[in-house]
Structure 1
Amino acid sequence: MRILIRGAGDLATGIASRLYHGGHQIIMTEIAVPLTVRRMVAFSRAVYEGRAEVEDMTGILVHSMEEANAVIQDGDIPIIVDEKAEIVQKYKPDVIVDAILAKKNLGTRMTDAPFVIGVGPGFTAGLDCHCVVETKRGHTLGMVLYAGSAIPNTGVPGNIGGFTTERLIRAGGNGLIEPVASIGDMVEKGQVVAVTGGQKVYAQMSGIVRGMLQPGVQVWKNLKIGDIDARCEKFHCFTISDKARSIGGGVLEAVTGFENIRNKYAIVVLA
């Protein structure tokens, strides 16, 4: 099926991975200046690098539907800067997955495609989408909801290796970011890991830098600009996370269910 994914961050890329390996055709949209912390496992990186390789997949920046079709024919995933997802008019997807993860709906409607999936908080199944996929870590992660909404955003990041808020790296001031530590580097608590707007940013815990914004991007004070992982597995920095795979599995489940229903009714109509 033709699937449009709004957003190309790390979680959206995890969704793309499950759908891509499920044999579906994908186009992903992004904003002009992505602020993806785990950019080494996100197709949003293609916006400023032209292409991005994540595991066994390649995302390529395109500027038109014609270019997107050529990339799809080559077996890759087109990424287009299209904040309002206007490419829907030409692509005419069977499924839209809103994986922007803005914690609110930025304009997706249930009438935008035959089947619309909202990912995370901000969507209500039956109101602005056909189903919602849970994004909060825990026993319901990746669950498909056909009624109601996902668990509201708490503002507290999930527990990884016994740490929550400490693992986040936040901008110390407004201005351009100058990373001091790179993704995959080991750092100690209190070490300078970046400079933002001329202000030094210090690690709040020891571990490995799992994510860091690209150099030279404009940031503002307290914005999340990086992530430290206490598990210290370098492999984790360059592979899709367990959370992203679980959410992607929920989306794939929903898409498969819709596909089966659509095929069933198509057979009945033909009969």
Structure 2
Amino acid sequence: MLKIIVRGGGDLATGVIHRLWGAGFKVLVLECAKPAAIRRQVALCEAVYQGNAQVEGLTAHLINSLAEADAVWERGEVPVLVDAAAESVHAFAPDIVIDAIIAKRNLGTSSTMAPLVIALGPGFSVGADADVIVETKRGHNLGRIIRSGSAAPNSGVPGNIAGYSKERVLHAPCAGVLHVVHDIGSIVEKGETIATITDGANQVPVTATLSGLIRGMIRDGFAVTEGFKIADIDPRKEELANCFTISDKARCIAGSVLELVCRYAQEKEK
């Protein structure tokens, strides 16, 4: 059985992890100590805070050391280890490392980490950083497998949904501790307060930039910096059920990753 590490447990990474798990592969997830997922209902990194997390039939369980991973796999679950610097890669000796952090820059992944290193999105170059890259930008090339060069650069503009783009994503107007007023699944109107940020004696409201459905909201009590991404509003109010399932984008990317993993497995058996 191949040994696979996925760096990151956010919503796109979770799509990849879920697809690999569904195909019968054992995956070890490496996360940071304070994950900042917005789409928390479909992000296995929530296990870092809660001890475990469930997404579409898959359970992720927080472990304290690599020695605990086998017991988690035996239960048909996915182990999550806090290891932002991927220091456990050497001891685990994976066949495949997948960088699914989606930081739009390289946070320490190298093509020397494993026989096959896959990176998702911008911030990587084939050769130096990874063996292959998967495109994460919405549009015609989403999920494209890139074997030379890099993915499309980060435009800073979210994908268009129902005619809305940058309006969909909310950022912290100031630094402080965020307190959720309306959480994931809530329907809100433009201008309505959906969260507040407390900075000392000051409490700054965060208001909805459009009417719609809160699809993503950073966890209550999270300390944010000014400009930090904190929420995502979907203008399609009928999409409530989709707040709790893996997105089309994540599934597309996951399919490309599974293709690469299966091809590697076939070549290894020759």
Kindly provide the CA deviation profile for residues 213-259 of structure 1, in whole angstroms up to 9, marking residues without a partner as x: 11111001221101001112111110000001111111111111111
Which amino acid in structure 1 is aligned with residue 226 of structure 2? Answer: K
Structure 2 counterpart of 1:251: 257
Which amino acid in structure 2 is aligned with residue 86 of structure 1? Answer: E
Between the aligned partners of 1:258 and 1:139, the Cα distance in structure 2 is 26
Instruction: Give the alignment of 1:218-229 within 5 angstroms.
Output: 218-229=223-234
Structure 2 counterpart of 1:241: 247
Structure 2 gap ranges (5+)? none
Structure 2 counterpart of 1:57: 58
> Matched residue pairs, number?
264
TM-score using structure 2 length: 0.96
Percent identity for Structure 1 against Structure 2: 48
Question: Alpha-carbon deviation of 1:88?
Answer: 1.4
CA contact (8 A) 1:213 1:225 kept: yes
Structure 1 counterpart of 2:45: 44
Between the aligned partners of 1:161 and 1:235, the Cα distance in structure 2 is 17
Q: Secondary structure at the match of 2:101?
A: coil
Structure 2 counterpart of 1:137: 138
Which amino acid in structure 2 is aligned with residue 30 of structure 1? Answer: E
Which amino acid in structure 2 is aligned with residue 90 of structure 1? Answer: A
Q: Secondary structure at the match of 2:16?
A: helix
TM-score using structure 1 length: 0.95
Between the aligned partners of 1:261 and 1:147, the Cα distance in structure 2 is 20
Between the aligned partners of 1:36 and 1:50, the Cα distance in structure 2 is 16
Task: Give the one of 211, 214, 237 matched to 2:216.
Answer: 211
Q: Secondary structure at the match of 1:18?
A: helix
Structure 2 counterpart of 1:174: 175
Question: Alpha-carbon deviation of 1:127?
Answer: 2.2
CA RMSD of aligned residues (A): 0.9
Between the aligned partners of 1:127 and 1:31, the Cα distance in structure 2 is 23
CA contact (8 A) 1:172 1:195 kept: no
Question: Alpha-carbon deviation of 1:78?
Answer: 0.5
CA contact (8 A) 1:43 1:59 kept: yes
Question: Alpha-carbon deviation of 1:169?
Answer: 1.8
Between the aligned partners of 2:88 and 2:106, the Cα distance in structure 1 is 18
Which amino acid in structure 2 is aligned with residue 244 of structure 1? Answer: A
| 1:88 correspondence with 2:89 | yes
Between the aligned partners of 1:230 and 1:192, the Cα distance in structure 2 is 16
Between the aligned partners of 1:127 and 1:51, the Cα distance in structure 2 is 35
Between the aligned partners of 2:81 and 2:118, the Cα distance in structure 1 is 20
